[in-house]
Amino acid sequence: MLESNLYVALIHFPVMNKKDQPIGSALTTIDLHDIARASITFGVKGFYVVTPYVDQALIATQVIEHWTKGVGGTLNPFRKKALELIQVTKTFEDAIALIEQERKEPVVTIATSAKTSPGSITTGAVRKKLENKASHVLVFGTAWGLANELIETCDFILDPILGNTEYNHLSVRSAASIYLDRIINGR
């Protein structure tokens, strides 16, 4: 397998609430576990959890360390390997800077949204982009999705995942798994 140039970022600020207002959201530890497991399954290079809230970052760090340095990793080495992908940062810009520092190459950012957006790209287009040298970051939002101010900073936005009903509010961990499968496996 080629070395991966795909990363994932899970944003807790700025995201939207159901009234379409920008907010910060609380961390959900199941998101850390499930997105890390999906990430390692599909060969993602790194998973960034972005929260400016000190208490939330502490919770994330405690969960990660339990599984990577504590008894959790001894009891479940597969989970340890998955959670070793996670880094916690205060801002999305911090995550991008860390990737640029590690890879010494440009970073292409790709926002996700449940809303249809003009000019959005398909997962097939993302798969094609992964063939070039640049690092690529799939950006996921918690709560009711990424705030427009963050989406506007991204290079691209992915087409939404659509079902066969009008309901369209997947959990972020479900969306991450679906997008990763479609991008990596071409489904």
Residue 133 is predicted with a pLDDT of 85
CA distance 133 to 19: 39
Q: Is 60 exceeded by the pLDDT of residue 1?
A: no
Percentage of the chain lying above the pLDDT 70 cut: 98
Instruction: Compute φ and ψ for 55, nearest 5 degrees.
Output: -65, -40
CATH superfamily of 6-185: SPOUT methyltransferase, trefoil knot domain (3.40.1280.10)
pLDDT tens, 85-141? 999 999 999 999 999 999 998 899 999 999 999 999 999 999 999 988 899 999 999
Spatial separation of the C-alpha atoms in residues 12 and 139, rounded to whole Å: 11
The count of other CB atoms within 10 Å of the CB of residue 172 is 21
- Residue 109 phi/psi, 5-degree rounding, is -105, 135
Tokens (6 digits) for 71 = 């008894």
Q: DSSP class of residue 159? A: P
